[in-house]
Amino acid sequence: MLFFISLGVFPQVVCLFPQIYFTYMSDSIWAAVALAFIIEGLVPLLFPVQWKQTMQKIATFEQGQIRFVGLVVTLLGLLLLTFMLR
């Protein structure tokens, strides 16, 4: 939260209505978590065989490969979030 304030994101909202801003951010975070659950749940619901095969393939990856995939996905998410906040 302080990261957004220090970057000057929504400064007028923070100054004029701090309680509304913090409530809005809280709601946005919960909405993002709920959306992540929905998306994560749809894949095994709609494609259970392919999902299981993919999980078995991922289980054979080395730890470094899994970390690299996690890094790439995290960086893509941060990049997308940065463009959304502009």
Give the tens place of pLDDT for each residue, 27-79: 788 888 899 999 999 999 999 999 999 999 999 999 999 999 999 999 999 99
The confidence score (pLDDT) of residue 31 equals 86
By the 8 A CB rule, do 4 and 84 touch? no
pLDDT at 14 over 80: no
For the packed helices 18-46 and 48-59, what is the interaxial angle rounded to 10 degrees?
A: 100
User: What's the pLDDT score for residue 84?
Assistant: 83
